[in-house]
Structure formats: structure tokens, C-alpha cells
Amino acid sequence: MKIFKFGGASVKDAESVKNVSLVLKSQGFEKCLLVISAMGKTTNELEKVVELYFRKDNYQTEIEKIKRKHIEIAEGLFPENHAVFAEINLFFDDIDSFLRRNKSPNYDFVYDQVVSCGEMISTKIVSEYLNEIQFINQWLDARDYVKTDNSYREGVVDWAKTEEFISNLNKEICYVTQGFIGSDNNNFTVTLGREGSDYSAAIFAYCLNAEAMTIWKDVPGVMTGDPRKFKDVTLLSNISYEEAIEMAYYGASVIHPKTLQPLQQKNIPFYVKSFIDPTKEGTKVGASEKNQSEETYILKENQTLLKISTRDFSFIAEDHMSLIFGYLSKNKIKVSLMQNSAISLALCLEDKFNNIDELNEELQKVFRTEVIKNVSLFTVRNAKMDHIDQFYQEKSVLLEQISKNTLQMVTQ
């Protein structure tokens, strides 16, 4: 089977959904599973619903706005009496009904039940449209197949159960399903982390022993830098799994960090291609003699620099490190860069859940700390060290690290 993943930008309106059918026509729509994200900025809009709900504010108006937008998209795709309109209304009624009945104070639990509806609605619209134009497919609820623990907003996949369920699918037909979501043992929805649709596609690819997986984006492929942030970037036509994993870890937005490991385990080729021009080759990630090691630039913004030192000037020892990383794990804060000396530790952190103040409060009971918010982590992979000075120009460098051929600096 082939696995195709289409992100929010590729299904943001009626014309975009029609374009998906053109992409499929160019690639061949047989033995294919499509993983589809929420339409456009729907995830952000549903996040706002959750925030309004917990502030006891008027979230119903926001739900109505999002519903109206989806109905307008459907009006550009279907005749007015089509059954999909009732389906759309039902999904939004479910969101409202859940929030009126809910008694749980757990923000992450409520978030997953509400925000996941974006994927449910978008896949229903796309699946129905493709069937309408004779691209025959079966709609799947990914929650019946991708099983996780109950770590809401950061679900950990139960690979044994997931593989058991997905491997039973009929590999001779086509499917449309959701990215980003799974379910726990109680069948509550659990999301796999922000931008987790790529990971969902990799899960299905792994469990179906797919021939290949392709992510369709609004860029030509994996570039040597984000063209919105860097000048004179070029396309990487072939890169190794290892290089792609490093790029994803350092923050390359075109690849989700968890995506590559399941693909690498079964040596499944992974393509990043443009839905604007699907005939172009794009980037192939996998084992190849053509793999490139070009200088690449990655900027990871909205980071926090945390400096930690002992109060009595003693060494930062193993027990200190264990305590610090225990607090990081508890607060779901990820380390992007770490540098330690005898009596201090500097961490560049990604704080997706806004828990840095709670972390700092806990650490200050034992350590001296300094927190600098809104910093950026700039990484140069395969850096040409003979012209390294250019990277320091016009930058206020708070921390730097050079290892082998990788330069990293935390800047303000």
C-alpha cells in the first residue's frame, strides 16, 4: 500500500480539496490510505474553544463560526441536499454536547476530546467528496486502530494493539482516515502531540508494511532552510533517515520528530512533495547512494533558556541531574540543547504546555535559577567551519555549542 498524508494547508478550502483529487489522479488512486489533517487553521480555532470553555466565556459563538466555515467548504463541493451537511452538524453538536456535560477539570483531557473533532470533520468531507467523484474509498475512525495510553495531548502508542488492529485492514482498497488522534483503553480520544499527523501516517505505514509514504506540503520538499526565514535555500533531493531525524530533532518544521523511526525500522521510503506541483520529484528520505550532506539551517523559535546552579557552589552531580530531569518530565518540557559545567547547567527548553513557571518554582527550592524567555535556537547542520563567523553577525548569543559539524546557538 501507499500512504499519503495531506496537511491542513492542502485541505483549507473547497478548491484545495478538489486539488487533492488532482494529486491522487497524478499518483494513481489504488491500494492507498490517506491521512488527513484538520482543515486550514481549525486546530487553532478549536484550541480557542477550549480556552473559552475553561474561562467560562462564550465558546458557543466560536463553535458556530467554525461550523459555518466547514459548511461553506462543503457547499463548494456537494449538492445542497447531500448527507454530508447533516454529518457536519452532528460533529459540531457533539462538541457542544460534550462541553455541556463535561465534569472533568483536566484541561488536557477536554482538549483532546474537542480539538480532535477537526480531523473527524475534515476526513468525512474529503472521503465523501472523493466517493462523489468516483475515487472510491472507505472512511476509517483512526481511534479504532491507533491505541495509546491516557497521556492526553502526548499519547504514547501501544504498538502491539495498534499493529494488531491496522494489519487486519484490506490492503486491496483505499481508505481515508485522520492524523493526530488515537484512543486509550476507555476509548477516550488521545492526541499524539501537536503536528502529529505525520506520525499517524508513519504508524499506518509501519503496520501495513507500506511500499512508501508521501507527505504533501506547500513547499517543493525538504529545503536547506525554511524559505520564509532564510535566503538562497535549495532543495535536498535525497537525504538519509539519520540526517532527517537530526533535522527534525533540531526543529525542521517540515518533518515531525517521531515520524522517521517507524519508517526506518522497516526501511520504508519517505517522500516530501508539493501538492502545488505533484509531478516534481520532491525529497526522498531513505537509504540511497545519492544522499546529500548539505549545509542546512534550522531556526527553532519560542524557546526558553534556563540556567541552573547549586546554592553552595558544589558540583552539578548525577543526583542533581536526576532531580532536574524528573521535574522536566513531570512538566512535559523538552530539552532542545543542554550544556553543563562543574557548577552550572544551561538548558534550552521547548515549553509547549506553558509550565516553565511551575518548573522554575520547584527548582528554586534546591537551586539558583535564571529564566530567559522567548529566545531562539539556531542550528547549522553540516556547517562549513571555514566561514563560521558569518553566523554570529547581528546576533546576541547567550549560549553556543559546536560538535563535529553542527553549530548551535541560543540567541535573543
pLDDT over 80 at 387, yes or no: no
Q: In what order do the strands lie in the sheet with 406-411?
A: 334-340, 344-350, 296-310, 367-381, 406-411, 397-403
Q: Provide DSSP, 23-44.
A: HHHHH--SSEEEEE--STTHHH
Give 223's DSSP letter.
B
Q: Quick one: average pLDDT of 300-322?
A: 92
Handedness of CA 158, 164, 166, 167 (dihedral sign): positive
Task: Using DSSP bridges, classify how beta strands 367-381 and 296-310 pair: parallel, antiparallel or unpaired.
Answer: antiparallel
Q: Mind listing the pLDDT tens digit for each residue in 341-380?
A: 888 999 999 998 899 999 999 999 999 999 999 999 999 9
pLDDT for 7: 94
Smallest Cα–Cα separation from 262: which of 162, 154, 187, 116? 162
Confidence band for 194, pLDDT divided at 50, 70 and 90:
confident
pLDDT for 317: 87
pLDDT for 237: 95
The mean of the pLDDT values for the chain is 94
Question: 88 is written with which cell numbers?
Answer: 457536519
Q: Quick one: average pLDDT of 10-19?
A: 97
Give 235's DSSP letter.
B
Site of grid cell 533535522 = 247
Q: Which residues pair with 345 in a beta bridge?
A: 308, 340
User: Is the pTM for the entire model greater than 0.75?
Assistant: yes
Q: Which residues pair with 409 in a beta bridge?
A: 378, 400
Compute the half-sphere exposure of residue 352: CA atoms within 13 Å on the CB side of its CA.
13
pLDDT over 80 at 229, yes or no: yes
Q: Mind listing the pLDDT tens digit for each residue in 34-74?
A: 999 999 999 999 999 999 999 999 999 999 999 999 999 99
Phi, psi of 15 (to 5 degrees): -65, -35
Confidence band for 196, pLDDT divided at 50, 70 and 90:
confident
pLDDT for 64: 97
pLDDT over 80 at 173, yes or no: yes
pLDDT for 230: 87
pLDDT for 189: 98
pLDDT for 292: 87
- Listed in sequence order, the residues at least 6 apart from 153 whose beta carbon sits closer than 8 Å to its beta carbon are 108, 111, 112, 190, 191, 193, 353
pLDDT for 248: 87
Q: Which residue has the higher pLDDT, 385 or 400?
A: 400
Q: Are 344 and 308 in contact (CB under 8 A)?
A: yes
d(CA 320, CA 337): 18
pLDDT for 145: 98
Q: How far is CA 341 from CA 314, 328, 400, 406, in A?
A: 11, 19, 13, 20
d(CA 272, CA 134): 26
Q: Mind listing the pLDDT tens digit for each residue in 272-288?
A: 999 999 999 999 999 88
Q: Are 383 and 328 in contact (CB under 8 A)?
A: no
Total number of residues shown for the chain: 412
Least confident segment among 87-91, 372-376, 388-392: 388-392
